[in-house]
Amino acid sequence: MIDLKGYHHSGEVMNLLAECMWPDNERLENEYRNYRSDDSRILLGKMMNNQLVGLIGIALLSPGKAELKHISVKQGYRNQGLGKEMLEEIVEKLSLTELAAETDKDAVNFYRRTGFLITSLGEKYPGVERFCCVYRREEP
């Protein structure tokens, strides 16, 4: 994976970010700016055939612990294991023992299949159930 903080095609990064969050332009720009300016945030991308096909963004919380902020795979490359591959790679690369994420009903099964423990947070917003997803691995 490559570091996307200084990636020269910011539009590609913004398009992938838009696929995993509410695509409000101001919010997208703020998130991307946060990744580029905050050293506790990491934004990595998956390249295939010289094009950006996936991204993963985390916020480091403490040694070995992080929050998964964003994960996205470009349409046409989904259901090939790239999301799981990116998760495994970032957990290994950063020696994470715990990675937590919050998601909705549409994505919760991805996390379940990837080995996360799932807890319902209930209806966090009117008519929208949210889930806390936590991946833990034993320290080496």
What is the per-residue pLDDT across 14-35, written as a single tens digit (0 to 9) for each?
Answer: 889 988 877 688 888 999 999 9
| Cβ atoms of 2 and 12 closer than 8 Å | no
The count of domains in the chain is 1
Q: Could you count the other beta carbons within 10 Å of the beta carbon of residue 20?
A: 17
* pLDDT at position 139: 61
Asked if residue 56 lies in contact with residue 44, where contact means CB atoms within 8 angstroms, the answer is yes
Q: How many CB atoms lie within 10 A of CB 22?
A: 7
pLDDT, tens digit (0-9, with 9 covering 90-100), for 123-136: 888 888 999 999 99
- pLDDT over 80 (residue 90): yes
CATH number, domain containing residue 128:
3.40.630.30
pLDDT of residue 125: 81
Contact at 8 Å (CB) between 68 and 84? no
- Of residues 59, 118, 52, 45, the one with CA closest to residue 94: 59
What is the CA angle 46-133-126, rounded to 5? 110
Tokens at residue 101, please? 């994420």
Predicted pLDDT of residue 126:
87
- Segments forming the whole domain that contains residue 105: 2-136
Q: What is the distance between the alpha carbons of residues 7 and 44, in angstroms, rounded to a whole number?
A: 10
**Dist. CA 67–CA 11, nearest whole Å:** 24
pTM recorded for the entire structure: 0.87
What pLDDT, on a 0 to 100 scale, did the predictor assign at position 96?
Answer: 95
pLDDT at 137: 85
